[in-house]
Amino acid sequence: MSLLENIHGPRDLDGLSETQLVELAAEIRDFLVSEVSKTGGHLGPNLGVVELTMAIHSVFNSPHDAIVFDTGHQSYVHKLLTGRQDFSHLRELGGLAGYPQRSESVHDIVESSHASSSLSWADGISRAFAMTGQNDRFVVAVVGDGALTGGMTWEALNNISDDNSRRLIIVVNDNGRSYAPTIGGMARFLNTVRTRRSYRNLHVSSRNLFAHLGGPARAFYRGVRGGLHGFLSRFTNNEALYSNLDIKYIGPVHGHDIQALKQALEQAKNYGAPVIVHAITEKGRGYEPAVHDIADQFHAVGQIDPETGEPVEVASKPSFTSVFSDEILHIAEDNPRIVGITAAMLRPTGLHRFAEKFPNRVFDVGIAEQHAVTSAAGLAFGGLHPVVALYATFINRAFDQVLMDVALHKAGVTFVLDRAGVTGPDGPSHHGMWDLAILQVVPNIRLAAPRDATRLREELREAVSVEDAPTVVRFSRGSVGTEFEATRRTADGVDVLREAPHKDVLIVTVGLMAELGLQVAERLAAQGIGASVIDPRWVVPVPESVIDMARDHRIVVTIEDGVRVGGIGTRIRQDLRAAGVDTAVTELGLPDEFLPHGSREEILDLVELNPQKIARDLVAQVLGSRIPVARPLPDDSGRSIGVRARAEGA
């Protein structure tokens, strides 16, 4: 039996020798490559924290001691060491989550996969422990160096430094990368620490770390109160500059030497006050394809060949992201005022091709969405047109800036939201299901939801032409939708995809839900119910032609892959009432719940956004409202709707 098979909880590490711990680390890496290659997931980050996670669980006693991961994608090793070794359905419906999840284990504390929040969590937990007399409990926050680019980290550090009475250990997992290489002044400083002669020597023989390391790296967090500029300007000082922050610093430590890590963590544990432990690790450690992948070191992979790292399947259709990537480059070539902004997601959001062609016109601000948005407002004021590319779930973090800095100032800023709607395997924190409901309350905002590649290209060009208000183009994860050409386009830009000769039901679809709407219409037609299907393209503000068509139909059905409460359906219903149109409206969308991880198809089926359920309910609604259909056609039982209606007393 392997060593890993005997690990059922963290305390099973206690009886292992130094040699066995090294062997266990190798087994864990082999396990990760073998299992994650079958399911997909965050491979590179977890290969880089094997020894670090083992050392943390060796020194601290989870769950009595609280361990918080920032971000949670580096928690696979933590799952293995806490008794979760069935990775066969990782990130699949019913299987292990790709992030910490409280329902899985008492060892999981924070479920959010959004970066830069761990120190605030740790600050609150440690204060609670101190105030309630739980003085034997430690809090360990494992923060990736990329998370240090986020503002919440610095807000938390400022407060942590104000109270030295808590048992709080901040472990900085410094691999020089967030998703891609970490950017900014902090990253440059960390890079100087990694490349200093003193550290290079210690990296070879890290057992002598504490005997040989002097003060050069101890200025790591100086100057939170004094400002970032002053902070960075003092990094070359060899003194232990802690007069401002007053948090003990230990490191840098070789992040793949278990004994050195355990020694550093024991020292931090015994200090009795907040401590920073700076561990230098290698993303993708031990797996050659990841180590040599310059782009993102296998940050997140689909199914791959474990030997070569090559994808097992190549998508037959381009992704929405790739279509955006090509089109924004073409737009930028034609319009020198276009600039791009992203928050540590240059390649995932598709801005990398723009950056390669025009490196001085694309800005990666690190994991700092709020800064990205307000900076975009400034760029617009200066005469440029910024395109801010984010995952839809991350626009939540910058709502105030969209509202008060962009919209209030009538700034021409375009937001491109990737991974909108149900994203699938990354789970509740990554589903981009709130953007439509949140953003539509912003005055004068314009929201577009392309259904396919052609519409994405045209709507993106329409968006960047608006100079006096924020515009949003949001699209789903994965392959572009099937191309459905409109039978006609109204004067205000609404695409009519299907027009029934008898106007019983008007189906209004948002983005990729066009295909679902057409499938529902086919089923209704088979039951003798006339169903028209339209794609507004720009869903906010509601086009006037949508109001006009709703007036001509007996029932309006809206289908969106955003949260139903306060969604586009609600907006249409309100606009109909304001226009004096009393057509009944059925609003279909996602429930106001945190949805689990699973494939997009599985999640949509779980929330009953499928053609069978929708059509069945609509047939019942038509019959229940005593609306006569144009002609009786046979249903599945061979009886006409009229016959069935009479049989049921309708």
Nearest by Cα to 34 from 301, 263, 400, 370 = 301
Choice among 397, 451, 564, 571 that is catalytic: 397
Residue 510 three-state SS: coil
What HEC string does 72-112 produce?
HHHCHHHHHHCCCCCCCCCCCCCCCCCCCCCCCCCCCCCCC
Q: Please compute Rg for the chain using Cα positions.
A: 27
**Cα separation of 150 and 165, whole Å?**
25
Contact 171, 141 (CB under 8 A): yes
**Cα separation of 614 and 623, whole Å?**
14
- Judge whether 218 counts as a catalytic residue: no
Rounded to 5 degrees, what angle do the CA atoms 88, 89, 90 make?
A: 100
Distance of CA 528 to the CA centre of its chain: 43
Residue with tokens 């299992």: 35
Choice among 137, 283, 347, 477 that is catalytic: 283
Contact 460, 475 (CB under 8 A): no
- Judge whether 283 counts as a catalytic residue: yes
The H or E element containing residue 618 is helix 611-624
Distance of CA 426 to the CA centre of its chain: 8
DSSP code, position 177? B
Choice among 369, 459, 560, 587 that is catalytic: 369
Q: Which two tokens stand for residue 453?
A: 């590649």
Is the peptide bond between 611 and the residue preceding it cis, with omega within 30 degrees of 0? Answer: no
Query: Which backbone phi and psi does 343 adopt, to 5 degrees?
Result: -115, 80
Residue with tokens 């057992």: 207
- Judge whether 288 counts as a catalytic residue: no
Query: Which backbone phi and psi does 210 adopt, to 5 degrees?
Result: -75, -20
Burial of 589 from C-beta contacts in 10 A (0-12 / 13-18 / 19+): buried
Distance of CA 548 to the CA centre of its chain: 38
Contact 425, 463 (CB under 8 A): no
Residue 237 three-state SS: coil
Contact 511, 451 (CB under 8 A): yes
C-alpha distances in Å from residue 516, one per residue of 68, 459, 498, 522, 631: 40, 21, 13, 10, 24
What's the half-sphere exposure (Cβ side, CA atoms, 13 Å) at 86?
6
Break the chain down into helix, strand, coil percent, rounded to 5: 40, 15, 40
Q: Which two tokens stand for residue 199?
A: 């550290």
User: Residues with catalytic annotation?
Assistant: 283, 369, 397
